[in-house]
Amino acid sequence: MTIVNKKEPLILFVGDILFFIVALWVTLIIRYFDVPTLDTLKNHLMPFSILFVVWVVTFYISGLYKKHTLILKKSLPKILLNAQISNILITVIFFYFIPYFSITPKTNLFIYLVVSFLFIYMWRLYIFKFISPKQKQNAILISRGHEMKELEHEINNNDRYSFYFSSVFDLDEYSEGDLDNKILEEIEAKDISIIVADFNDNKVEVLLPKLYNFIFEKIQFINTHEIYEYIFDRIPLSMMNYFWFIENIYAGNKVVYDFLKRSMDLLIALLLFAVTLVVYPFVILAIWFESKTSPFIVQERVGMDNKIIKLYKFRSMTSNDKGKWITDDDNRVTKVGKIIRSSRVDELPQLINVLKGDISLIGPRPDIKGLFDNLENELPYYTIRNVVKPGLSGWAQTHQEIPPHSLEETKIRLSYDLFYIKNRSFVLDVKIALQTLKTLISRTGK
């Protein structure tokens, strides 16, 4: 399935590294009004080579390598400037705490910020037109439901895709006979190269014998499930059935992955707990002075295999209706609560749960027992999200800016959770961890 330039991230990565180096060279020319000697360039490249790796991670966290990079053209200056400012701050800290190099750049860093921003910005704008497909292929979409409309809108309004839906057939609007004739007419009339369809739909199954013949005319067939998952990083819920779960969800042990995951949970949770312990007295005192009650709460939540776990948190509300969604403008959220919830400080005690093995650092967020009971009755397949261990942060939390406050938002969260369960791996966990770090730094976490 080739719908975008798969070399795009690699091209951007190599180009960024190259222009990091070029920007450093130009910075030295500007600073010293002379072409730098080989020794001068070498003295700077040694420490900066380490920093280039860190800077690329910053770019990744900022979204400069994600699949929808080409959409960022309008917002590129702001995102890039913020990323480079962060990189310069990291560089200052690096040279302060590791004073083992023969250079201590100060003025150079300011010059480098300006020069590197200009070079990377111009490079990104220049490469966009070469990464974007030169000519789009004609495609037809045969499906139904809300996800079909999402798919049509995304494909037809984004330059990065290699095809365009010249025709869309909503299965709810056609009888089998009309659909048959219309599709065949469109394929012949519009030089169709790609057919995207829900091949599990009964109406589409009837068409398969006739569509089969188009294989010999070099037409490519793509299942709507696969392309939707690839583009949106979530599973289309309206297309789900028991067969899909049996085919795609594995709840058994993945020996190497499970070992690595648990090892990292213990190591990172222990380190974070030790580092953040200094925050506890301040949070405890703030909660005590405002609420005059215990600064900690213990919540019953639903964990792996639908077992009840007791989760520790800092108190952020005066009371909690265990069967309802919570919003930050809820009058039960205290003043201190708003601060610690926005920065996720209220969840620091859950590191104890990670060490105990109740939850992982990465995984679907566990629901409060009362809310879970309601959602279990409202949403089909909802309990499937508990076949894996829940986590402090998950794939849904990195894609939804705020926790779900309605049934519809919970459906979207479930679609992200299913994507994680299906595709879970150590690499995906690292991606989630980096995106969570971005959320914490920007204080947009809720």
| Residues 145 and 90 reside in one and the same domain | no
Q: What is the pLDDT of residues 33-45, one digit of tens each?
A: 888 888 888 888 8
Q: Among 263-267, 392-396, 442-446, which stretch is predicted with the lowest mean pLDDT?
A: 442-446
Going through 231-374 in order, the beta strands assigned E by DSSP cover 296-302, 308-314, 360-362
246 within some domain: no
Extract long-range pairs of 334-341: CB within 8 Å, 24+ residues apart. Answer: 334/287, 334/290, 334/291, 335/290, 336/283, 336/286, 336/287, 336/290, 336/291, 340/283, 340/314, 340/316, 341/316, 341/446
Q: Name which of 23-27, 322-326, 356-360, 386-390 the model is least confident about.
A: 322-326
Backbone φ and ψ for 234, nearest 5 degrees, come out as -150, 165
Do 75 and 201 sit in the same domain of this protein?
no
Q: Do 272 and 336 belong together in one domain?
A: yes
Residues 147 and 112 in one domain: no
**Domain endpoint, select from 79, 98, 131:** 131
**Does residue 45 or residue 429 have the better pLDDT?**
429
In 3-state terms, what secondary structure has residue 349?
coil
Final residue of a structural domain among 81, 101, 131? 131
pLDDT of the residue at 446: 43
Q: For residue 444, what pLDDT band results from cuts at 50, 70 and 90? A: very low
200, 222: one domain: yes
pLDDT digits (tens, 9 = 90+) for 22-31: 999 999 899 8
The count of structural domains within the chain is: 3
Residue 331 domain-assigned (yes or no): yes
Residue 170: give the domain boundaries.
137-232
Q: In sequence order, what are the beta bridge partners of 348?
A: none
Write the pLDDT tens digit of every residue in 126-174: 887 777 777 888 999 999 888 899 999 989 888 778 899 999 999 888 8
Output b/e per residue, 17-29; b: 16+ Cβ within 10 A: eebbbebbebbbe
Task: Say yes or no: 223 and 362 in one domain.
Answer: no
Q: How far apart are the C-alpha atoms of 95 and 10, rounded to whole Å?
A: 29
Is the pLDDT score of 400 beyond 80?
Answer: yes
Q: Which secondary structure element, helix H or strand E, spans residue 164, and what is its range?
A: strand 163-170
Residues 410 and 286 in one domain: yes
Pairing verdict, β 308-314 and 296-302: antiparallel
Same structural domain, 39 and 124: yes
In a domain, 401, yes or no: yes
pLDDT at 325 over 90: no
Please check whether residue 240 lies inside any domain of the structure. Answer: no
Percent of the chain with pLDDT over 70: 91
> Are 360 and 274 found together in one domain?
yes
Measured distance CA(212)–CA(79) in Å, rounded: 46
Instruction: Verify that 146 and 89 share a domain, yes or no.
Output: no
Take residue 374 and report the two structure tokens written for it. Answer: 């309601």
Give the per-residue pLDDT at 70.
52
Give the residue-averaged pLDDT of 371-397: 92
Mean pLDDT for the chain overall:
86
Does 167 share its domain with 209?
Answer: yes
Question: Domain for residue 242, yes or no?
Answer: no
State how far the Cα of 423 lies from the Cα of 257, in Å rounded to an integer. Answer: 12
Q: What is the pLDDT of residue 119?
A: 93
- DSSP characters over 111-124: HHHHHHHHHHHHHH
Domain boundary among 232, 267, 302: 232
Cα distance between residue 114 and residue 109, in whole Å: 9
What tokens appear for 113 in the block?
């910020």
CATH code of 224's domain: 3.40.50.10700
How would DSSP label each residue in 305-331?
Answer: GG-EEEEEEE--BS---TTS---TT-T
pLDDT at residue 445 greater than cutoff 50: no
Give the predicted TM-score (pTM) of the model: 0.83
Residues 280 and 387 in one domain: yes
How far apart, in Å, do the first and last CA atoms of the chain sit? 36
27-35: long-range contacts at Cβ-Cβ below 8 A with a sequence spacing of 24 or more?
A: 27/108, 27/111, 27/112, 27/115, 27/116, 28/108, 30/111, 30/115, 31/107, 31/108, 31/111
Q: What are phi and psi of 231, to 5 degrees?
A: -75, -45
